[in-house]
Amino acid sequence: MSTTEHAQGAATEPVFAVRNLWKVFGPKAERIPGDARLGELSAAELTARTGCTAAVRDVSFDVHPGEVFVVMGLSGSGKSTLVRCLTRLIEPTSGTLHIDGEDVRAMDKSRLRELRRHRAAMVFQHFGLLPHRTVLDNIAYGLEIQGMGKVERRARAEEMLAKVGLDRLGDRRPGQLSGGQQQRVGLARALATDPEVLLFDEPFSALDPLIRRDMQDEVVRLHREEGRTMVFITHDLSEALRLGDRIALMRDGGVVQLGTPEEIVAAPADDYVRDFVRDVPREQVITLRRAMRPAVGDEAITGAVLPPSTRVVDAIEAVARTGEHVRVGEDGNVLGVVCHSRLLSVVAGLDSGHGGEPRGEKAGAI
């Protein structure tokens, strides 16, 4: 999945723009965000002192069009609260929140309804299907609420059913499906209204690992084929690394690091994040752009060439095969090189490399 265009995507207006968002549960919640001294307390101290829980604490981020934005963190870190605040299923305590430039906190009831029905669809962990309706009617439900006619909505629901690979199961009830199939119905139902953004709250955590993998592939495919914007909550690091263009890592209501999977694995912001990513196979995530070093002597002239987006694991294969260094090239320029020791130090976590821009005189034409 491409990350650079999203990470840099300042030119386009964000789908969601969130600034200094707080959600505090408890008595007189609204005094907490404005009070610098209370705001500095740890989660436990805040609860002891005020009886309040700051489920979301001064959080700011943008979600860019076409991006899979993952919110990750341990249980209780505030993920669900944060995502529910985006469509005001939970009312934020303070901060600003825009969708396509429109102020969500200023929306009246009917505008909010429109937002939830047409623009942002939610997929939940426990599917939320209606047990007495057929699969097809479940998928068509959102369209029915929108006022679409029966023939049209059934046709649309059939189309969505095929899209998630359940063509022949439209007449069953949800109880007659496996967990994985039910979640596919949940996904089809969310897609039926053709929302601008899909919000997933741990949709696959109840599924067994193989089916889970299948559903992740489905999300990757939807993203690739339709370029749909998604906000995806998970507490599973490998799922986050697999799906996310960027990951916001939450702890006690705050975002401790926001970055690409590679940034989070290669340059953890603090010990908490470092601990979180400790067991990740670094060579699967880190790319040559970060692992390379400047070319020395005639290294820039000989050797195989790989693009900077190549993962270290794939470069290891090339270096092992040829026994020589590999050049990292882009647009006809050599940005740097990687050799055995460089690649091994990435695997060992000794040096995540500096990568970045080609360094003046060391960069040359291929």
Between β-strands 16-25 and 94-99, what pairing exists: parallel, antiparallel or unpaired?
A: antiparallel
Query: Of 77, 80, 93, 287, which one interacts with Mg ion (CB under 5 A)?
Result: 80
Stretch touching Mg ion by CB under 5 A, among 38-46, 73-81, 96-104, 219-227:
73-81
Stretch touching ligand ATP by CB under 6 A, among 7-15, 79-87, 130-138, 165-173:
79-87
Q: How far is CA 63 from the centre of its chain?
A: 9
Q: Is 55 in the site for ligand ATP (CB under 6 A)?
A: yes
Q: Is 53 in the site for ligand ATP (CB under 6 A)?
A: yes
Please report how close the Cβ of residue 77 comes to ligand ATP at its closest, in angstroms.
4
Q: Is 25 in the site for ligand ATP (CB under 6 A)?
A: yes
Between β-strands 16-25 and 333-338, what pairing exists: parallel, antiparallel or unpaired?
A: unpaired
Please report how close the Cβ of residue 350 comes to ligand ATP at its closest, in angstroms.
33
Query: Of 6, 57, 64, 79, which one interacts with ligand ATP (CB under 6 A)?
Result: 79
Note the helical H segments in 286-334.
288-291, 312-322
Query: Of 81, 193, 229, 352, which one interacts with ligand ATP (CB under 6 A)?
Result: 81
Stretch touching ligand ATP by CB under 6 A, among 77-85, 96-104, 133-141, 327-335:
77-85
| Distance set, CA 186 to CA 174, 181, 225 (Å) | 10, 9, 19
Q: Would you say 234 or 352 has its CB closer to Mg ion? A: 234
Task: Return all residues near 346 (Cβ < 8 A) that are at least 6 apart.
Answer: 282, 283, 286, 291, 312, 352, 353
Please report how close the Cβ of residue 131 comes to ligand ATP at its closest, in angstroms.
23
Q: Would you say 194 or 236 has its CB closer to ligand ATP? A: 236
Say how far apart CA 65 and CA 250 lie, in whole Å.
Answer: 22
Query: Of 80, 87, 93, 183, which one interacts with ligand ATP (CB under 6 A)?
Result: 80
Please report how close the Cβ of residue 190 comes to ligand ATP at its closest, in angstroms.
19
Please report how close the Cβ of residue 83 comes to ligand ATP at its closest, in angstroms.
8
Helix, strand, or coil (residue 152): helix
Query: Of 37, 40, 44, 75, which one interacts with ligand ATP (CB under 6 A)?
Result: 75
Q: Is 76 in the site for ligand ATP (CB under 6 A)?
A: yes
Q: HEC string of 183-241?
A: HHHHHHHHHHCCCCEEEEECCCCCCCHHHHHHHHHHHHHHHHHHCCEEEEEECCHHHHH
Stretch touching ligand ATP by CB under 6 A, among 2-10, 76-84, 190-198, 218-226:
76-84
**Binding partner selected for residue 257 from ligand ATP, Mg ion, none, CB under the kind-specific 5 to 8 Å limit:** none
Between β-strands 229-234 and 246-251, what pairing exists: parallel, antiparallel or unpaired?
A: unpaired
Q: Is 81 in the site for Mg ion (CB under 5 A)?
A: no
H/E stretch holding 120 reads strand 120-123
Say how far apart CA 223 and CA 155 lie, in whole Å.
Answer: 23
Q: Would you say 53 or 138 has its CB closer to ligand ATP? A: 53
Residues numbered 182 to 221 that lie near Mg ion (CB under 5 A) are none
Q: Is 78 in the site for ligand ATP (CB under 6 A)?
A: yes
Say how far apart CA 275 and CA 352 lie, in whole Å.
Answer: 16
| Distance set, CA 97 to CA 104, 118, 152, 256 (Å) | 6, 18, 34, 20
Site string for ligand ATP, 216-235 (x = CB under 6 A): -------------------x
Say how far apart CA 350 and CA 238 lie, in whole Å.
Answer: 22
Kindly state the number of chain residues that form the binding site for ligand ATP, as judged by CB under 6 A.
12
Q: Give the phi and the psi of residue 51 in degrees, each rounded to 5.
A: 75, 10
Say how far apart CA 40 and CA 31 lie, in whole Å.
Answer: 13
**Binding partner selected for residue 77 from ligand ATP, Mg ion, none, CB under the kind-specific 5 to 8 Å limit:** ligand ATP
Q: Which residues are at the interface with ligand ATP (CB under 6 A)?
A: 25, 53, 55, 73, 75-81, 235
Q: Which residues are at the interface with Mg ion (CB under 5 A)?
A: 80
